[in-house]
Structure 1
Amino acid sequence: MNYRIRRDPNGEAPPQTDENWERATLRDVLLEAYREQRRARVWKAVWRGVGLLVFLSVMAGLMGKGGNEDAKPNGAHTAVIDLVGEIGGDEYTDHVAILREGMEAAYENKNVKAIIIRANSPGGSPVVSNVAFEEVRRLKAEHKDIPVYAVAEDMCASGCYYIAAAADKIYADPSSIVGSIGVVGSSFDATGLMDKLGIKRRTRTAGSNKGMGDPFSPETPEQIAIWQQMLNEIHGEFIKAVRTGRGNRLKEKENPDVFSGRVYTGLQAQKVGLTDGTGNIYSVARDVAKAPELVDYTPQQDELTRLLSRRLRAEVKTQVSAWLDKMW
C-alpha cells in the first residue's frame, strides 16, 4: 500500500502531529511484523520440504539395496526361497513373483547346487497356486541340472502342497501337517433368522443366478449343483497337478482318501507318497543336496517397503502439496 503526504497549495507538507506520527510508526511496526511472520512461515515450509526429500531419498536408497547382500558367496551352497503365509497375489505377498524371482536369481549363480522351497502355509488361492506350480515346473525344465526340493515346516497344506508338488522331491518334519488336497467354498444361510425377525430381502437381478451365494436369499437346487460342479472342476485341476508332480510315487490305490481333503503328519504323508522322506532344510541341504551352506534367495520386502505403500505415498503427496501452498 502506498501512502502520499498531502501538501498545501504552496507545496509545503503540513506539520505532522503527534497523533499522525504514532499512527505511522504503528503501521510500520505492524507491517514489518507481518513480513517477518510470513518469512518465517515460508522458511519453515522450505525446511519441512527439504527434510521430507532427505527422508524419502534415504528410504529409496535403503529399498534399492533389496535382496540379500550375501546371496552370492564364492563357495558351493543351497539356495533357500520362502513360501510362507496364505497363498495370494496382493502387493506384498505375490507368491508367484517371490518364487520366480528367487529361483531366477539362484539359477544365475554358478555356485548354487540345489534350491529348497521352504514351505510353511495353510494354502489359499487355487489360481495363484496353479500359476506358481506351472512357473516352478517351467524354471525346472530350463535348468535340469539344479534340483528343486520342497521342505515343509509346520504346515504345507492345500494350495501350498499344490505348489510343492512341482518340486523334484518333498520332505517334511515328522510332525508337519501335509496334504489337504481338496477345495472348500463356504457361506452361511441367514434366511431362517430373517423370517424370525420379520425381515424380507428385496433383490433385483437380471439373470436367474446373478444373486447366487447371497446369504440373505434362499438357494435353489440348481444353484447348489452349479457350486458343486465348480468345486469339483477346481478339485480336478488340483488332483491333476499332484499326479503330474508326484507320478508313480503317489500311492493312491492303497489310500483312496488321499484326495479327500484330509491332512497327514509328515510320517503319514511319506507312507501315502505325498512326500519322499523326513527332514528339514539343514538335513536336506547337507545330506541330499550335498551343499550344507544355506543362502536365502527370497526377495526381500522389509518394513520400509511396507511404510511406502500406496496409501502412505498418497498421504505424503497431499502433505507436500499443502506445504507448497503455504509457501506461495
Structure 2
Amino acid sequence: MSDQWKEENSDNWKEQSSAQKQQAPQDSTDTKTWKLLEKAVLASVQEQKRSRRWGIFFKSLTFLYLFGAIFLFSPSLTMDKKSPGTSHTALIEVRGMIADGEEASADKIVSALRHAFQDSDTKGIILRINSPGGSPVQSGYIYDEIQRLRQLYPHIKVYAVISDLGASGAYYIASAADEIYADKASLVGSIGVTAASFGFVGTLEMLGIERRVYTSGEHKAFLDPFQPQKAEETEFWKTVLNTTHEQFINSVKQGRGERLKFDAHPELFSGLIWTGEQALKMGLVDALGNSSLVAREVIGVDNIQDFSIQDSPFDRFAKRFGASVAERLAIWLGLQQAPAIR
C-alpha cells in the first residue's frame, strides 16, 4: 500500500510541479509590468515636484529682481543727498521734447523750480538745456513760472546753460533766465512756429477711395490730410501760427531786452538756428561756458545738487508702449496737428 500511495503522490507532485512551472513565467511577467508602471508613475510624480520647485524658484527670483529694481531706482534713493545748511547750486535738467507727459513737461520742471527756489541753501539755479523745443503752451508755463519765482526770490539768480541744443521752445524757456550760457558749438535759436502734416488726396483718387467726413461745423475738418486744402482755411491757419510766433517773439524780447541785437540781425526771429559763438554776437546768449563754470565762477558755489524730477525706469518703459506711442504715431501720420515752437 505504501508503494502504491507513494506512486500516486509522486504523480500528483509531478503534476503540481509542472503546473507551477507553467504559471511561474506568467507571474514573473506581471510582476515586471507592475514594477515598470510603478517606476513610470514615481518618475512622473518626481518630475512634477521638480517642475513645481523650479517654478517657485523662478517666480521668487523674478519677484526679488523686481523688488530690488524698484528699491534701487526709487526717486528717494536716486536723489542727491545733501547735508542741512550746506550751500549749493541747484541744477534742473530740461532734456528732450517739451510736452505734457514727457521728461521736460511743465509740471516736472515747474515743480523742480519751486523746490529749488524754496530751499534756503540754494544760492543759484542752473537750467541745463538740451532740447529741440516742443509745445508752446508747456514752454509758456515754464517761462511764466520762472518770471514769477524770480520776483518772489530776487536774491536767487537763474542761469540757462545750453549744451548741445537749445532751440525753439527750449530757447523760449532760456530767455526767462537772468543770463544764458552756451558752448561755442551749441545750436541756439530757431525762434519760429511750425505745424506739419501730409496730404493724401491724390493717393486716394488714384486708388479709387472716397473720403467721407461728416461734421457739424463748416471748417471742423480743415486739418484733415485726406481732403483738398481750401485757400481761406490755409490763410486762417497761418494767422494762428503767426499769432503764436508773435507771442514767442514778445516773450524773448521781454526776457532778453536790449541784449538782443535785432536791428543788426533782423533774421533773429526767422526760425534760423546758430552756433553758440554766432549766438553770442547776436545777443541770444550772454557768454560761453558750461554748468560747472557757471556754478564755480558765476554763482560761486561748485556744490551742485540735482533738483530734476524724473520718471522711474518702469514709468519710462510703460510710456513707450502706452498712449504716448499712439499719440506720436497719430501726429506723424498727420491725424493731429498741434502747433509746435520750432
Amino acid at match of 1:309: A
Residue in structure 1 matched with residue 131 of structure 2 by the alignment: 121
**Which protein is richer in helix relative to its size?**
2
Residue in structure 2 matched with residue 69 of structure 1 by the alignment: 80
Does the C-alpha gap of structure 1 residues 312 and 267 become closer, same or farther in structure 2, counting only changes over 3 Å? closer
Amino acid at match of 2:100: G
Amino acid at match of 2:318: S
Question: Is 1:99–1:136's contact at 8 Å kept on the other side of the alignment?
Answer: no
Question: Is 2:124–2:157's contact at 8 Å kept on the other side of the alignment?
Answer: yes
The yes-or-no answer on 1:290 pairing with 2:283 is no
Question: What SS does the corresponding residue of 2:159 show, helix, strand or coil?
Answer: strand
Does the C-alpha gap of structure 1 residues 63 and 268 become closer, same or farther in structure 2, counting only changes over 3 Å? same
Query: Root-mean-square deviation (CA), in Å?
Result: 3.4
* Partner Cα separation in structure 1 for residue 63 and residue 204 of structure 2: 56
Question: Is 1:71–1:296's contact at 8 Å kept on the other side of the alignment?
Answer: no
Map 1:15-30 → 2, pairs under 5 A:
18=27, 21-30=31-40
CA displacement, residues 70-96 of structure 1 (integer Å, 9 cap, x when unaligned): 4558643322222222323345x2433
TM-score, normalised via structure 2 length: 0.72
1:309 corresponds, among 318, 324, 332, to 318
The yes-or-no answer on 1:259 pairing with 2:269 is yes
Does the C-alpha gap of structure 1 residues 128 and 72 become closer, same or farther in structure 2, counting only changes over 3 Å? farther
Aligned residue pair count? 295
Cα deviation for residue 210 of structure 1 reads: 4.5
Q: Which blocks of at least 5 consecutive residues in structure 2 are unaligned? A: 1-22, 323-342
Does the C-alpha gap of structure 1 residues 307 and 172 become closer, same or farther in structure 2, counting only changes over 3 Å? closer
Q: Which blocks of at least 5 consecutive residues in structure 1 are unaligned? A: 1-14, 314-328
Runs of 4+ in 1 over 6 A off after TM superposition: 310-313
- Greater displacement, 125-134 / 51-60: 125-134
Amino acid at match of 2:207: I
* Partner Cα separation in structure 2 for residue 72 and residue 102 of structure 1: 19
Residue in structure 2 matched with residue 325 of structure 1 by the alignment: none
Residue in structure 1 matched with residue 286 of structure 2 by the alignment: 276
Does the C-alpha gap of structure 1 residues 256 and 53 become closer, same or farther in structure 2, counting only changes over 3 Å? same
Amino acid at match of 2:307: Y
CA displacement, residues 160-201 of structure 1 (integer Å, 9 cap, x when unaligned): 001112212222334433222110122344545666xx3344
Does the C-alpha gap of structure 1 residues 72 and 133 become closer, same or farther in structure 2, counting only changes over 3 Å? farther
Question: What SS does the corresponding residue of 1:83 show, helix, strand or coil?
Answer: strand
Amino acid at match of 1:243: K
Identity across matched positions, percent? 34
Amino acid at match of 2:89: T
